[in-house]
Amino acid sequence: MNEEHTKEHMGKLIIARHHESEWNKLGKWTGTRDRHLDEYGFQKSNDMGVLIKDISIDCAFASMLVRSIETLSCILNVCEKYTVPTEHSAALNERDYGDYTGKNKWEMEKVLEPLEFEKLRRGWDYPVPNGETLKVVYERVVPYFLEKILPRLQEGKNVLVVAHGNSLRALMKYIEHISDEGIEHVEFPFGSIVIYDLDMEGHMIDKEIRETASHVPA
């Protein structure tokens, strides 16, 4: 199957990170702790909806955490997509930061060695006491994508996924064939939406980024 034929029949994958939560504002590692969006997070989630009003959304996915569910609701409301089928799964949850959960990352930056701090935040398989590495997140996100999301795209449906910085980085690693070393330099900014055209295996053909300016201390 040639690329153009594939692109014509595959739906678009639209991925977005939840916006500012109560703990993002405080600079805390949130991980799997459930925290609501704050006022700014709700406002910017609405702005994210404006970014994709021109795209038809056929179905949507979010994690089980309230900040991603609230962001998804804002986006769909702004897009006036009130009956879009949505599914929620813990497979899309943020990385579990274990013993670092609730700690202020900027205070921890002063305590940890610079390389250790960067590895902790962005590394592929850097251990966290009682938590998850990005590799572990990848091992739950990608099978879920292949089983639940990719088939919808193969049916020609446009799919919106709202999740978290690390679960989306894990997904991008698969989609874009990013190396273990390369993923350490990839961040998914707040307020950004990435729109992919994929092949039948779920790998990138084209990529578009749309953004609303966002200032989040995270």
Based on the residue annotation, tell me whether 19 is a catalytic residue of this protein.
no
Task: Return the pLDDT at 3.
Answer: 47
* pLDDT tens digits, 88-103: 999 999 999 999 999 9
Q: Which residues contact 199 (CB under 8 A, 6 or more apart)?
A: 3, 6, 10, 205
- Strand-pairing partners, residue 12, are 197
Q: Please, how many CA atoms are within 13 Å of residue 141, restricted to the half-sphere of its CB?
A: 29
Between 45-49, 75-79, 174-178, 212-216, the lowest mean confidence (pLDDT) is in 212-216
Where are the domains positioned within the chain? 3-211
Could you tell me the pLDDT band of residue 74, with boundaries at 50, 70 and 90? very high
Q: Tokens representing 20? A: 């500012």
User: Among this protein's residues, is 164 annotated catalytic?
Assistant: no
Residue 121 vs residues 95, 128, 206, 215: alpha-carbon distances, Å: 10, 10, 28, 19
Q: Count Cα neighbours of 125 within 13 Å in the Cβ-side half-sphere.
A: 5
Where helices occur in the chain by DSSP H, the ranges are 3-9, 22-25, 39-51, 66-78, 105-111, 114-122, 134-144, 150-154, 165-175
State the fold for domain 3-211: Rossmann fold (3.40.50)
Give me 164's structure tokens: 């978290």
The DSSP letter of residue 162 is E
Residue pair 125/180 in contact by the 8 Å Cβ criterion: yes
Query: pLDDT by residue (tens digit) across 138-184?
Result: 999 999 999 999 999 999 999 999 999 999 999 999 999 999 999 99
Q: Given 19, 20, 70, 94, which residue is catalytic?
A: 94
Q: Which of 18, 19, 20, 132 is flagged as catalytic?
A: 18
Is the pLDDT at 5 greater than 60? The verdict is no
